[in-house]
Amino acid sequence: MSWFRRTPLADAVWAVVDCETSGLDPKHDRLLSVAAIAVAHDRVVPARSYSALLRQDAPSDAGNILVHGIGGEAQLGGRSAQEVLAELAAFIDDAIPVAFHAPFDRAVLARAFATARVKAPTRRWLDLATLAPAFFPDRKATDLDSWLAAFGIECTARHDALSDAYATAQLLLVALAKARREGVATVEALLRLARSGAWLRSRR
């Protein structure tokens, strides 16, 4: 199916993605776990979700483990990257991938896909970290935690990939509702707004 320029927002299917990694450098740090959850017809679809832990040759350092809670034994006992990434690609399929700070997740996954020799999804990503402030410039939020707090969205287990993806999906619903009120009608228009971050400010 061909999205972009022809797909009304109401008809789009989104795949909200979250990655947990061994650090914050997407060029060098490893993908430890990944999760995705579908958003369709203006609702989060928990039945359409994916979550997996990738097997590591060696655990990440203790400070990193304190952040995401994926212990050394769990990291060593994960599933093969090739298997996980093939499943993730099939899950995303024709959906539009979404993340908070999407360039980070996109870069981490691109490197993981290349290393595992699995064909990566090619759709353009929607970055909520640029879209949210474009829609809500008066909010004093900066990171995911503050944006979730701004709209009363609870995340039951921060830095668990599936929990973070679910919370981010709820933030996406807030943004989609605002898009409708502001007359943003298509996927392409929303992606363009997220890239520029200036559309609504120019209307104020």
| CATH number reported for the structural domain that contains residue 39 in this entry | 3.30.420.10
pLDDT number for residue 201:
47
Range of the domain at 135: 9-203
Residue 3: inside a domain? no
pLDDT number for residue 191:
94
pLDDT number for residue 134:
93
pLDDT number for residue 64:
97
Structure tokens at 168: 């981010």
Q: How far apart are the first and last CA of the chain?
A: 36
Residue 1: inside a domain? no
Structural element, H or E, at residue 35: strand 31-40
Question: How do residues 118-152 score in pLDDT, each as one tens digit?
Answer: 999 999 999 999 999 999 999 999 999 999 999 99
Residue 2: inside a domain? no
Do 101 and 132 touch, CB atoms closer than 8 A?
no
pLDDT number for residue 3:
46
Residues in the chain, pLDDT under 50:
1-4, 199-204
Do β-strands 96-99 and 43-53 pair in parallel, antiparallel, or remain unpaired? unpaired
The percentage of residues in the chain with a pLDDT greater than 90, rounded to a whole number, is 91
46 vs 134: CA distance, rounded Å: 28
Residue 4: inside a domain? no
Residue 98: exposure state from Cβ atoms within 10 A (0-12, 13-18, ≥19): buried
pLDDT number for residue 198:
56
pLDDT number for residue 196:
83
Residue 13: inside a domain? yes
Whole-model pTM above 0.85? yes
Structural domain count, the chain:
1
Residue 175: inside a domain? yes
